[in-house]
């Protein structure tokens, strides 16, 4: 699990008292990441009295697995999560570990258009995007795409992807385009779903992927890319999944 690089976290969210720590726990046979107060005891994303300062959570980080930021209707932030889109087998094997080269093309296309603060998830298999904007609905999930603006906490690693801003940018137009492409419009969502079919990989993408397959760990990379995770107990990213009834982070 990635540890947070505190110096990379944007200052504008460090100043807000909307922070928690998180710890991996087993619930109903699944690994979850419930939020904690730095002094101990569960925090609640919908209860400001259980939230803390960034400094307090940073000081307590060694007692937990990381820190998280709580989204609120009182702030301008939206967080998007692209789950299971980056294969950790590439880390240390290629020079693309902190880029979009080894991310599914459809996801990479969305992230480039959003062009704001973008980081790896704690498991390094997903990508998180922070921007300023407003959603037509509080939160939405479809397949491995999630987007929220309130009452959820978001793990923060600050393992920022190469070439992306270190600041959280205003991206309302790009957010609207993403929302319509993935979730459709509230009036006619099914029509927009037709536009969100997977992109066809470019020749350059295929060439890079073939090079990865031919590397020293190529066989392992190919198995993971094709979805064979038997070696890992068939758990795609247990650290990133919460049961539906307890899901308050991503």
28 and 73 assigned to the same domain: yes
**DSSP label of 103:** B
* Number of domains, the chain: 2
Sole residue written with tokens 């932030």? 77
151 and 214 assigned to the same domain: no
153 and 220 assigned to the same domain: no
User: Digits of tens for pLDDT over the chain (250 positions)?
Assistant: 889 999 999 999 999 999 999 999 988 888 889 999 999 999 999 999 999 999 999 999 999 999 999 999 999 999 999 988 865 555 554 444 567 777 888 899 999 999 999 999 998 888 999 999 999 988 899 988 999 999 999 999 999 999 999 999 999 999 999 999 999 976 544 443 343 333 333 334 446 556 766 777 777 666 655 544 455 444 433 333 333 333 456 6
Structure tokens at 199: 């992109």
Domain assignment present for 164: yes
95 and 213 assigned to the same domain: no
Q: How many helices (H) and strands (E) does the chain have?
A: 7, 11
142 and 213 assigned to the same domain: no
Is residue 105 within 8 A of residue 199, CB to CB? The reply is yes
How many whole angstroms separate alpha carbon 125 and alpha carbon 104? 11
Cβ count within 10 A of residue 130: 24
Structure tokens at 36: 């904690």
157 and 47 assigned to the same domain: yes
Structure tokens at 94: 């290629």
Domain assignment present for 171: yes
The dihedral over CA atoms of 156, 159, 163, 165, expressed in degrees to the nearest 10, equals 30
Domain assignment present for 212: yes
212 and 158 assigned to the same domain: no
Residues 75, 3, 242, 183, CA torsion sign: positive
Sole residue written with tokens 């609640």? 44
83 and 50 assigned to the same domain: yes
Cβ count within 10 A of residue 109: 15
Domain assignment present for 1: no
Range(s) of the domain holding residue 224: 203-232
pLDDT, position 229: 45
Domain assignment present for 20: yes
End-to-end Cα distance, the chain: 14
Those residues whose C-beta lies under 8 Å from the C-beta of residue 41, and which sit 6 or more positions away, are 50
Structure tokens at 71: 């989204």
Is residue 156 within 8 A of residue 4, CB to CB? The reply is yes
pLDDT, position 247: 40
pLDDT, position 96: 45
Domain assignment present for 68: yes
Is residue 157 within 8 A of residue 2, CB to CB? The reply is yes
């Amino acid at each position: 699990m990635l540890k947070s690089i505190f110096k990379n976290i944007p200052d504008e969210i460090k100043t807000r008292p909307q922070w928690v720590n998180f710890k991996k726990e087993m619930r109903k046979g699944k690994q979850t990441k419930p939020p904690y107060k730095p002094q101990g005891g569960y925090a609640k994303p919908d209860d400001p009295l259980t939230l803390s300062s960034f400094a307090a959570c940073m000081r307590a980080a060694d007692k937990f697995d990381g820190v998280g930021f709580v989204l609120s209707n009182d702030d301008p932030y939206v967080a998007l999560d692209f789950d299971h889109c980056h294969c950790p087998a590439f880390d240390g094997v290629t020079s693309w570990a902190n880029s979009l080269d080894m991310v599914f093309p459809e996801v990479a296309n969305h992230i480039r258009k959003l062009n704001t603060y973008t980081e790896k998830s704690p498991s390094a298999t997903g990508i998180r995007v922070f921007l300023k904007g407003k959603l037509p609905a509080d939160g939405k999930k479809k397949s491995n795409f999630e987007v929220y603006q309130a009452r959820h906490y978001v793990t923060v690693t600050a393992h920022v992807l190469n070439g992306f801003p270190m600041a959280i940018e205003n991206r309302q137009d790009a957010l609207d385009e993403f929302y319509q492409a993935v979730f459709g419009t509230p009036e006619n969502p099914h029509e927009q779903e037709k536009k969100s079919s997977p992109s066809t990989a470019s020749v350059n993408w295929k060439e890079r992927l073939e090079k990865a397959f031919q590397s020293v760990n190529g066989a392992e990379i190919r198995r993971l890319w094709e979805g064979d995770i038997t070696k890992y107990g068939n758990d795609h990213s247990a650290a990133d999944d919460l049961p539906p009834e307890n899901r308050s982070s991503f």
